[in-house]
């Protein structure tokens, strides 16, 4: 369960590992109006406090790439203390790979976006990536997959390993659902085995979590994942270093929905709308990474409300001749290569090459014209 994640602030070195955000309690039946209002406030603001106080500065961690070259074939086991003795390169470059025009096959396990800087979702373009955490859940995920199919949307699912490993019927069913996610063209990423806050764990336990989750992926899919989301969105320079040493790109989010804290699809949509408006007003971010959880029925229904909202906004933007909301298939448009940057360094805001943006917008505009004209003709 995670919350809305705003931009992080700088912190002095060395960082302190934050405490995990406790799971929210279900709302009481008494005083439902007051409780619902309180939950909505928590949904909107709780993650802001967490992110501002939990995220370390990205300026002081050792160079993972440089340490790995010195450590040899077992670089994923290199001690952060050893890496701290390695001098950083005098100048760290941030490069983006050539961005294809989205005609490539789906990059199911995120290898095309491996070894990148931390993705926050920041962008001045109207790019939207939907992500879902904590699943799969056999009671809710199948319906979500049907809703995504109906909308023509591909998402990223960050899977909890203990939901898809084991011999009981529920785990076997959920392993099948995870494979169905892949079959339907979605990406899958690592959300650890049992969803414990990484900064509370010893480094050896974190490495065990990464190794165990990768074995689970191998058993279920025959491949390892390359995308990672820390439980609760809580991380530190130490945990980022360990995760990045396995080749992962960490994907956070900037468009939270507060769905662990609320209990209706309408409240999920309302929280998302407020966060979305705040992002654009305060940071100039007109798109980004949306966080939802496929373990809640209200989140499944909330996805449809958010999607319908974006489509309605596109009809108005089409009339204005403005850039339209483009629901992207994978994180590659937000990707920036690590190239020796310190652990935990954030990717710069996604800036799509003009030719690629024009080609994508042309396709979105054509589809939007058909949809909006059909709606107007009813």
- The answer to whether 227 touches 158, Cβ cutoff 8 Å, is yes
Beta strands in the chain (DSSP E): 127-133, 156-159, 187-190, 227-228, 249-250, 288-293, 326-327
DSSP state of 190: E
Please tell me the distance from the alpha carbon of residue 218 to that of residue 223, in angstroms, as a whole number: 5
For residue 133, report the phi and psi dihedrals to the nearest 5 degrees: -110, 160
Radius of gyration of the chain (CA): 20
CB 303 within 8 A of CB 154: no
β-strand 156-159 against 326-327: which pairing, if any? unpaired
> Which one from 133, 134, 240, 330 is the annotated catalytic residue?
133
- Has 267 been annotated as catalytic? no
Nearest alpha-carbon partner for 58 in 325, 295, 209, 250: 250
CA distances from 229 to 41, 181, 245, 251, 302 (A): 24, 18, 15, 5, 21
Whole-angstrom Cα distance, residue 120 to residue 133? 15
Torsion sign across C-alpha atoms 349, 199, 197, 230:
positive
293 is catalytic: yes
Q: Which of the following is catalytic: 55, 191, 293, 296?
A: 293
Question: Active-site positions?
Answer: 133, 293
């Amino acid at each position: 369960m995670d919350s809305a994640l705003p931009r992080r602030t700088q912190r002095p070195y060395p960082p302190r590992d934050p405490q995990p955000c406790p799971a929210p309690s279900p709302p009481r039946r008494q005083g439902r109006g007051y409780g619902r209002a309180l939950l909505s406030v928590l949904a909107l603001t709780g993650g802001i406090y967490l992110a501002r106080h939990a995220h370390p500065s990205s300026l002081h961690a050792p160079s993972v790439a440089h340490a790995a070259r010195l450590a040899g074939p077992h670089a994923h086991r290199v001690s952060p203390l050893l890496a701290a003795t390695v001098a950083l390169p005098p100048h760290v470059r941030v490069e983006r790979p050539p961005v294809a025009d989205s005609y490539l096959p789906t990059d199911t396990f995120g290898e095309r976006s491996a070894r990148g800087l931390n993705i926050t979702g920041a962008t001045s373009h109207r790019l939207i990536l939907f992500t879902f955490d904590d699943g799969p859940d056999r009671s809710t995920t199948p319906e979500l997959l049907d809703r995504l199919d109906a909308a023509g949307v591909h998402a990223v699912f960050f899977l909890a390993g203990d939901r898809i490993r084991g011999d009981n019927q529920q785990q076997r069913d959920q392993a099948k659902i995870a494979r169905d996610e892949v079959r339907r063209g979605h990406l899958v990423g690592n959300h650890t085995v049992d969803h414990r806050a990484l900064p509370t764990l010893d480094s050896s336990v974190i490495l065990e979590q990464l190794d165990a989750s990768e074995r689970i992926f191998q058993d279920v899919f025959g491949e390892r994942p390359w995308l990672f989301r820390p439980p609760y969105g809580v991380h530190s320079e130490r945990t980022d270093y360990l995760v990045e040493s396995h080749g992962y790109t960490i994907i956070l989010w900037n468009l939270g929905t507060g769905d662990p804290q609320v209990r209706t699809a309408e409240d999920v949509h309302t929280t998302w709308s407020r966060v979305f408006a705040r992002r654009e007003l305060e940071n100039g971010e007109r798109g980004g990474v949306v966080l939802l959880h496929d373990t809640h029925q209200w989140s499944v229904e909330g996805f449809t409300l958010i999607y319908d909202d974006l489509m309605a906004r596109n009809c108005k933007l089409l009339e204005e001749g403005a850039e339209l909301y483009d629901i992207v298939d994978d994180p590659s448009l937000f990707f920036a290569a690590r190239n020796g940057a310190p652990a935990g360094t954030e990717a710069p805001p996604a800036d799509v090459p003009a030719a690629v943006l024009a080609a994508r917008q042309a396709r979105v505009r054509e589809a939007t014209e058909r949809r909006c004209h059909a709606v107007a003709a009813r």
